[in-house]
Amino acid sequence: MDVLADVVSALRTGPATSGRTDVRGPWGLRFAHSFGATFHLVLQGTAWLLPPGGTPVAMGPGDVVLMPRGLEHALADHPESPLVDFDPAVEKPVQGGGARSLLLCGTYRLDRERPHPVLSRLPDVVHVPADPGRHRTLHTAIGILGEELDAQRPGAAAVVPPLVDALLVLILRAWFEDRDCPTESDWSRALTDPAVAQSLELIHAEPGAAWTVAELASRVGLSRAAFARRFTEAVGEPPLTYLSRWRMTTAARLLRDHDRPLATVAKEIGYTSEFAFAKAFKRDFGIPPGTYRRQLTLA
């Protein structure tokens, strides 16, 4: 079980939206708050990321930034350039007379009601610079995207969307791999601690199993106390709390993506009755699972 891929798949609520932004200086683009995670790639030229209340970040070709909480921010050719409101999905590029930059800007649609620690514990700005020799898969994907968007050859509409979708996992993986000294707020510890990572794989592979702390500890070769401590420190919550969270996240995905009966969904995530499942779901989401599914259908 690939935990990172499973988390991203569960949190995605629809396809990414993105737009090719071809600008020539001077330029400054203000991006409104988004309910997803905003990303920007510099395919050619340079740019400055201007986060809210933060230090400007210089970006060059191959650099990528992810704003996990979709905060309002700006991109510009210089930190002092005037800004205009901009939506890459609907607005035309800004054309001046100066140096050219080619950007890919967009948003990943994510479930904001059930934020997972893998995203909620990220900083407001995730910057992965183009570092030769590191993260080759990510930068190969960026290079292909740049060629497809710039040349606009036949078939690009079939090539670009899956590459954009894959970028979210590639960006997160690169960020976690760069954490040489993970902190308490960094979920990379959960993915690199062998015992914790193995226990997460077990939970994600069988969320409906009757897991106990003792059983998980035994499966990863630790005492109950040692396992509980390491899991809580790395993940940010105790094992059974995470299990309950993941069961509800999985339930929401099943309700969103499938038409299985509620009793079947309940059984798949470890509940012995539809009533017990509905009660737990309503406690977490504020509405019964049937209502949740109907609202998604109407959206």
Tokens standing for residue 177 = 């791999």
**Residue 182 counted as domain residue:** no
Contact 169, 66 (CB under 8 A): no
Is 12 a residue whose pLDDT tops 90?
Answer: no
Question: Which residue reads 């109907």 in tokens?
Answer: 294
What integer pLDDT is reported at residue 168 of this predicted model?
93
Count structural domains, the chain: 2
Q: Which domain holds residue 119?
A: 3-177
Q: What's the pLDDT at 155? A: 87
| 184: pLDDT strictly greater than 70 | no
Answer yes or no: is pLDDT of 185 > 70: no
The CATH number that applies at residue 239 is 1.10.10.60
Place of tokens 């707020």: 185
Would you say residue 45 has pLDDT above 90? yes
Cα distance between residue 77 and residue 54, in whole Å: 17
Q: Which amino acid, one-letter code, is at 153?
A: R
Q: Mean pLDDT, to the nearest integer, of 34-55?
A: 92
Weakest-pLDDT range from 90-94, 130-134, 157-161: 90-94
pTM of the model: 0.85
pLDDT value, residue 256: 87
Residues 15, 159, single domain; the answer is: yes
Average pLDDT, the chain: 89
Residues 21 and 52 in one domain: yes
Banded pLDDT at 78 (limits 50, 70, 90): very high
Quick one: 105 and 202 in the same domain?
Answer: no
Does the pLDDT at position 181 exceed 70? no
Least reliable range by pLDDT among 17-26, 208-217, 290-299: 290-299
- Same domain, yes or no: 228 and 94: no
Same domain, 147 and 213: no
pLDDT at 180: 63
| Measured distance CA(173)–CA(253) in Å, rounded | 22
The most distant pair of C-alpha atoms in the chain lies apart, rounded to whole Å, by: 67
- Distance, in Å, from the CA atom of 171 to the CA atom of 67, rounded to the nearest integer, reads 11
Query: At residue 133, does pLDDT exceed 90?
Result: no
> How far apart, in whole angstroms, are the C-alpha atoms of residue 277 and residue 248?
9
Q: What is the 3-state secondary structure (H, E, C) of the chain?
A: CCHHHHHHHHHECCCCEEEEEEEECCCEEEECCCCCEEEEEEEECCEEEECCCCCCEEECCCCEEEECCCCCEEEECCCCCCCEECCCCCCCCCCCCCCEEEEEEEEECECCCCCCHHHHCCCCCEEECCCCCCCHHHHHHHHHHHHHHHHCCCCHHHHHHHHHHHHHHHHHHHHHHCCCCCCCCCCHHHHHCHHHHHHHHHHHHCCCCCCCHHHHHHHHCCCHHHHHHHHHHHHCCCHHHHHHHHHHHHHHHHHHHCCCCHHHHHHHCCCCCHHHHHHHHHHHHCCCHHHHHHHHHHC
Residue 187 lies in a domain: no
Q: What is the CATH number of the domain that holds 87?
A: 2.60.120.280
Edge-to-edge strand ranges of the sheet holding 100-108: 17-24, 100-108, 37-44, 64-67, 126-128
Q: In which band, very low, low, confident or very high, does the pLDDT at 91 lie, cut at 50, 70 and 90?
A: low
The answer to whether residue 152 scores a pLDDT higher than 90 is: no
Examine the pLDDT at 244 and tell me if it is beyond 60: yes
In this structure, the number of other CB atoms found within 10 A of the CB of residue 98 comes to 12
